[in-house]
C-alpha cells in the first residue's frame, strides 16, 4: 500500500473517531438540576415478621399484605392526591396512594405525618403503571415504625 493511501486512511479514521467522540459528549448533556442531598438516613432494617419489604411487593401483586418501607419522596398532586413514594422516581419503587377524597380521614397531613419515615402499610397490592402500590383510604392502614 502506498504511503499516500496509508496517510489518507489514518486521516479518515481520526475524523471518524472525532465525530463519534463529539456525538458521545453531546449526548450526555449536563443538567442544571442539582443532585438532592438526603437530609435523613434511610432505615435499612429488615421488615418485621408480619410485613414484607417493598422489593417483595413486586412479587405479591393481588395480595393483601403489610409492606414496610422508607418514604423517601412524599408528594401532593395538584388535585390533592397524596403519594408516599419509596423512591424519587416513583416508577422504580413502591407507592402508597391516598386519594384526595380520603385525605380528610387522617388525623393530620399525611405528608408531614409519614414523609421521610419508615412506615408499615396494609392493603391490596396492585400494579399501577408498572410499579406496585397500595391505595390507602384511612389512617388505620398505616403505622409509623
How does strand 131-135 pair with strand 95-98? parallel
Residue whose C-alpha cell is 401483586: 61
Cα 83 to Cα 121: distance, rounded to the nearest angstrom: 13
Task: Give the pLDDT confidence score for residue 5 in this predicted structure.
Answer: 82
Domains of the chain by residue range: 52-144
**CB atoms closer than 10 angstroms to residue 38:** 8
* Global confidence as pTM: 0.67
Distance (Å, whole) CA 75 – CA 82: 6
Residue 85 forms beta bridges with which residues? 73, 95
Q: Within 10 Å of residue 54's Cβ, how many Cβ atoms? A: 19
In the prediction, which pLDDT does 135 show?
A: 97
The confidence score (pLDDT) of residue 13 equals 80
Tell me the mean pLDDT per 10 residues along the chain, length 145: 79 81 61 45 56 96 97 96 94 96 96 97 96 96 95
The CA R_g of the chain, rounded to the nearest whole Å, is 24
CA distances from 15 to 86, 94, 120 (A): 47, 48, 58
Rounded to 5°, the CA angle 58-63-68 comes to: 60
Q: What does the pLDDT read at residue 138?
A: 94
Strands (E), 31-111: 52-53, 64-70, 73-76, 82-85, 95-98
Q: Cell numbers of 53, please?
A: 419489604
We find that the CATH architecture of domain 52-144 is Beta Barrel (2.40)
Amino acid at each position: 500500500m502506498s504511503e499516500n493511501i496509508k496517510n489518507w486512511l489514518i486521516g479518515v479514521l481520526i475524523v471518524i473517531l472525532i465525530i463519534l467522540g463529539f456525538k458521545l459528549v453531546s449526548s450526555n448533556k449536563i443538567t442544571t438540576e442539582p443532585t438532592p442531598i438526603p437530609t435523613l438516613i434511610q432505615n435499612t432494617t429488615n421488615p418485621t415478621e408480619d410485613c414484607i419489604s417493598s422489593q417483595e411487593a413486586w412479587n405479591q401483586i393481588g395480595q393483601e399484605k403489610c409492606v414496610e418501607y422508607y418514604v423517601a419522596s412524599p408528594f401532593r398532586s395538584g388535585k390533592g392526591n397524596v403519594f408516599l413514594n419509596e423512591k424519587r422516581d416513583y416508577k422504580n419503587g413502591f407507592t402508597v396512594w391516598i386519594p384526595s377524597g380520603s385525605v380528610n380521614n387522617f388525623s393530620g397531613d399525611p405528608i408531614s405525618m409519614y414523609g421521610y419515615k419508615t412506615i408499615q402499610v396494609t392493603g391490596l397490592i396492585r400494579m399501577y403503571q408498572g410499579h406496585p402500590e397500595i391505595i390507602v383510604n384511612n389512617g388505620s392502614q398505616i403505622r409509623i415504625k
